Structure 1
Amino acid sequence: MTKYEKTVAMLEKKFSGNGIKLGLERILRAAERVGNPQSFFKSIIVAGTNGKGSVSAMLSSIMNNAGVKSGLYTSPHLFDIRERIRVEGKKIDKKRFLQIVNILENAGISDVTYFEFLTLLSFLFFKEREVESAVLEVGLGGRFDAVNIAESNICIITGIAVDHIQYLGNTIEKIAFEKAGVIRNRGIVISGKLSKKAYEVIEKECKKKSAKLLLWGRDFKIDSLVSNLRSSVFDYMSEDFICKNIKVPLAGEFQPYNASLAITAFLEFLRLNKKKKKGIEIESAIQKGLYSTKWRGRMERIKLKDIEILFDCAHNSNALKYITSYISKEIDKREVILIFGVLSDKDIPKMLSLLNIRGLKIIFTTPCNERAFSPYELKKVFDGDGVSTSVIANPFDAFKEASKKSASETLVCIAGSIYLVAPLLQFVDRLKKNDKSRKKLVKNFDFMNECVE
């Protein structure tokens, strides 16, 4: 193992016992020990149940194309922990990553969670690189999430649905209240589509803090949408700005919606910071920024020989409905095999109800995470009509079986937890490069050593 690989493994082992612990006391104490790096730049905080990562990536890309030096902090990562921390679109390099880990360790930063440690690492890196603004994706909730200690006057709430009920509450109102915790006094709030109950919570918090609320469908919208499995083209419209024929190279009808949130946040950033740019430059930054956005594992299509594979990190019921909608359209045209696995903290019955698509073939499997829900229990709980189900606990073997069964026109979908999508996406990437070393690929998943040949 390289020094970098050893350090990443050490961090995972060191903080694994801390789990998820909401609260700002630990991160505030730790930040003070290293000079409160989060106070050296302005941030845009992105909260919401789904779409946070895509919106964050789009916004950061637009800002970089506008000449605004932007940091980007997202989670979780697909393949490499450094994906979480970027400046001007580039991952933190391994050498600097190791150096900042040493800085934090020398400062005695140990009484924090894994997420809090990485958040602080990103703050130090952004301060060092003198970013003009950092786009910070909330890890969980908002009010007590580590990124919420950052200096911020703009926040995005992508949408609110029921998820993580053991941490955020079991009603829309309670979850909305937690996410509203990112709203600042006299700040700007850009909100996606909200239910009536969620809207009332967000509106109340905005009034309480004299914050400006910009609501999707009321203050800005998309029009003339044309979408397919490779990209989308749409027009953006607000009261004082129109941008036409915007192309987003990310699949899914929801991506233009995500893009509209990013565009609105960018426009508000320019207004707030009095960046005087001509309209054509703003439009160019939006067009180029969105067109160059890359966000893997979200309705991502890959052709492997004669098999079409569709990857989607649909980790909750709200996200899953998009890929199941697509499957419903395809099922009458060709065979569809779904490899599905999910974590135990999700609304399992609701997610399974979305998979009840007549003619679908489902292989239940195990995400590479200790919180994985048993695939045998998934099969037991699933109540489908005209759906073929089986269990192959090892995800690599599940993919192998689906590939063997596939006819030339078969669509193989891999959906559910990011901890299922990520290793299989990496596996397929390696297969495309003729690297069939499964041992190297799965070495970090100790509890799944049985899949090593």
Structure 2
Amino acid sequence: MNGLEYLRSLNQHSIKPGLERITEILHALGDPHLEIKTAVIAGTNGKTSTSAMLAEILFRAGFSTGLYTSPHLVRVGERIKINGNDIEDRNLNELIERVHGICKNKNIRPSYFELLTAAAFIFFKEQEVDFAVLETGMGGRWDAVNTARPLVCAITNISIDHTQHLGNTKEKIAAEKAGIAKHGIPLITGARDATLAVIEKICAEKKSPILKNREDFKCTENNGGFSYSGKVWEIENIIPAMRGRFQVSNAAIALACAETIATRGFDIPPEKAKEAIEKVRVGARMEYVRKNPPLIIDGAHNTESARRLAETIAENHPYERFVFIVAMSDDKNHAEFLRMIKPVCSRLILTRSKSGRSADAAKLLKFAPEGIEVETADNPEEALKKAEETSLPLCVTGSLFFAGEVRNLVL
């Protein structure tokens, strides 16, 4: 089998804690991760949006910029970009084959994510990018991208998710994600309260300077946009391309990262940063694939992201309630997710995605809130058909994998 076929043979949801395998693989490849200027972005929600914003800022400032995110929506090549362009399948196939060859020679059995991370590092090095923005896959401490030596790190926020791997409290999750902190490397965060205290303690132990949203930098909302105030930068009237108050928080983290990099001697004009935030979009993040009636696809997949989604829909459509098509992974808090979207939901259609982790619609039905019409569908196609018959505003959500499936059907 070729490289991409081998990659598809692996379970992309398999988690193998530890940095030993990826470190050995990268060393055999010449340690490409140590030859790239990087930024590492962790957090429960908003990692991809924040990473994309920072990459766009660096690109518009004139730097060749790599971006590594996960998961993908349709094509695995979406995870590895340079200057906004996905890696081509032939290039990714060749890189995977090279990494796989190293693994076979050394009798290493990498995870799906480790294999892709190694391929991304090689690609960015060989394409001679000026910077690479790296999103952690899930945690931080044992994440494959944590092998990098970044110029700046960030933790967007902390909420409950992936408890079987990261811990069952916000504090435990914060400790895992704060594992990206490095000696002398600034760490920027939007975390608050008890989780912030955990991150501050770990940063103090590692002598990593910490910059906190609302204290060391902040965004002030005004007239449909916001203004940014940092250590040096003052940027007025930014109108973000992506909707939602939570995107303002993501933009604050991205701008603080860019400003921190600029203080290291890199020429990043604030006006280019503003331009980037006003242009960059990420698929399946409050994405309007149709405006009349609205059809929104959003990858919300945990309680906090569901709350933010409902809040954003309420702000943008105060007089409308939506039909929701929902499919979720089996390990999520289904009751709380559905409870969060209830205030903006008139009808609920529950289904399942093709992902092996997807919960059955019958299981989701047990957690459906009272007071709204609920039905099930065997698959996304049937769910869409049922929803479109209503001619009402529609939102598809519950999982990034599911969002990708439906996006592929309607676009």
TM-score range, shorter chain: over 0.9
Paired residue secondary structure (1:235): strand
Paired residue secondary structure (1:198): helix
Aligned to 1:46: 41
Verify: 1:283 aligned to 2:270, yes or no. yes
Paired residue secondary structure (2:394): strand
CA distance in 1, matches of 2:162, 2:94: 34
Instruction: Give CA deviations for 1:338-388 in whole Å, capped at 9, x if unaligned.
Output: 10111012122221221333862000110221001121111112232x211
CA drift of 1:25 comes to: 1.3
Aligned to 2:130: 132
Instruction: Give CA deviations for 1:385-416 in whole Å, capped at 9, x if unaligned.
Output: x211111121111011100122xxx2111111
* Matched-pair contact (CA < 8 Å) for 1:307–1:403: no
Instruction: Give CA deviations for 1:252-302 in whole Å, capped at 9, x if unaligned.
Output: 221121111111101111212x12x4xxx6122112222231211100112
* Matched-pair contact (CA < 8 Å) for 1:300–1:312: yes
Higher relative contact order (CA 8 A, sep 6+): 2
CA distance in 2, matches of 1:360, 1:296: 25
* Matched-pair contact (CA < 8 Å) for 1:358–1:387: no
Paired residue secondary structure (1:346): coil
Q: How does the TM-score come out when normalised to structure 2?
A: 0.94
Q: How does the TM-score come out when normalised to structure 1?
A: 0.86
Instruction: Give CA deviations for 1:61-95 in whole Å, capped at 9, x if unaligned.
Output: 00011112221100001111111111122222233
Aligned to 2:328: 342
CA distance in 2, matches of 1:208, 1:151: 18
Aligned to 2:290: 303
* Matched-pair contact (CA < 8 Å) for 1:365–1:398: yes
* Matched-pair contact (CA < 8 Å) for 1:66–1:282: yes
Computing the radius of gyration from Cα coordinates, the structure with the larger value is: 1
Aligned to 1:205: 202
* Matched-pair contact (CA < 8 Å) for 2:327–2:399: yes
1:370 to 325, 344, 356: 356
CA RMSD of aligned residues (A): 2.0
CA distance in 1, matches of 2:344, 2:256: 40
CA drift of 1:114 comes to: 0.5
CA distance in 2, matches of 1:151, 1:330: 41
CA distance in 2, matches of 1:419, 1:159: 22
CA distance in 2, matches of 1:269, 1:335: 43
CA distance in 2, matches of 1:36, 1:332: 52
The letter of the residue matching 1:392 is A
1:260 to 252, 259, 262: 252
Aligned to 2:377: 392
CA distance in 2, matches of 1:24, 1:239: 34
Aligned to 1:217: 214
Paired residue secondary structure (1:214): strand
Instruction: Give CA deviations for 1:176-199 in whole Å, capped at 9, x if unaligned.
Output: 1000100001110100142x2101
CA distance in 2, matches of 1:216, 1:420: 32
Aligned to 1:89: 84
Paired residue secondary structure (2:307): helix
Aligned to 1:160: 158
Pairs aligned (count): 408
Residues 389 and 26 (structure 1), Cα distance of their counterparts in 2 relative to 1, 3 Å cut: same
Verify: 1:420 aligned to 2:399, yes or no. no
Q: Which moved more, 1:16-25 or 1:167-176?
A: 16-25
* Matched-pair contact (CA < 8 Å) for 1:22–1:144: yes
Verify: 1:11 aligned to 2:4, yes or no. no
Paired residue secondary structure (1:355): helix
Instruction: Give CA deviations for 1:233-260 in whole Å, capped at 9, x if unaligned.
Output: 2111124320111222112221121111
Q: Which consecutive residues of structure 1, in runs of 5 or more, have no partner in the other structure?
A: 228-232, 430-453
Instruction: Give CA deviations for 1:3-28 in whole Å, capped at 9, x if unaligned.
Output: 9xx75343111x22882212111111
Paired residue secondary structure (1:356): helix
The letter of the residue matching 1:236 is Y
Paired residue secondary structure (1:152): coil
Verify: 1:174 aligned to 2:172, yes or no. yes
Provide the identity percentage.
32
CA distance in 2, matches of 1:132, 1:246: 26
